[in-house]
Amino acid sequence: MIVTSTVLVKTEVGREALAKRSHGLTPRQRALLISINGELDVAQLRARFAGGSPEEMDAAIEKFLDAGLIEPVGEPVAPAVGAEVATPVPRSPARPAAADRAAPAGAAIVGDWRRIQSRATDLLREVMGADADLLAMRLERARTEQEFLSHLERSFQVVDTARGADALAQYRANLIAR
C-alpha cells in the first residue's frame, strides 16, 4: 500500500511512455498516468478514478514506480488520525510548486476566450504531446469563459511542472502572439 498523502509526478520515462504509447498501458492506466502531475496526491487520484478499487490503483501506481514512469515529490503530509497508513514510497527532493511561479490566467489572456480556445488547445498539444490529451480535450470542450480559464490556468501549471519555466514562457508567449 501507498501513503495516500504522497504526491507523485511523471518522470521523463513516463512522459516518453505516454508520447510513444509504450509500456503496454491499458486505457485506464494511461489516463491515470496522464493525471499524475506533481500536484495531486494518491487520495485525490483515487477520488478521480473512483470506478476502480484502491488495490487496483495501488497496483498501477506501484507498476509505474517500478518501471520508473513516476516518482514521489517531496514529503507526504502526516495522515489524519484514523486515516489509512501504509508503507511510504521512497522520496525524492521536493520541486518548487508551479503555482508559485505561474501568473494568473487573466494576466496572460485578453479578449474573447472563444478565439483563443482552439489556439490554446493546439499549443498545449504542441508543447506537451500526448501528455496533454486529457487537458487539451477539456480546453476544447469548455462551455463557459470561467470553465475555459480554469482549464487554461491548469494548463499553465501542467506545462510548468512537466516542461519547466522556459516552456511555460514560450507557451504563454505563443498563445498571445498568434
CA–CA gap between residue 6 and residue 108 (Å, rounded): 32
Output the pTM of the full model: 0.43
CA–CA gap between residue 115 and residue 93 (Å, rounded): 40
Please, are residues 14 and 70 in contact by the beta-carbon 8 Å criterion? yes
One pLDDT digit (tens) per residue for the chain, 178 residues: 578 788 889 898 888 888 888 778 888 888 888 888 888 888 888 888 777 777 888 888 899 988 999 988 864 444 444 444 444 444 444 444 433 444 444 444 445 778 888 888 888 888 888 878 888 888 888 888 888 888 888 999 888 888 889 988 988 888 877 5
pLDDT for 94 equals 44
The C-alpha cell 517500478 sits at 66
The C-alpha cell 475555459 sits at 148
pLDDT for 111 equals 56
CA–CA gap between residue 10 and residue 131 (Å, rounded): 10
CA–CA gap between residue 69 and residue 9 (Å, rounded): 9
Tell how far CA 88 is from the center of its chain: 21
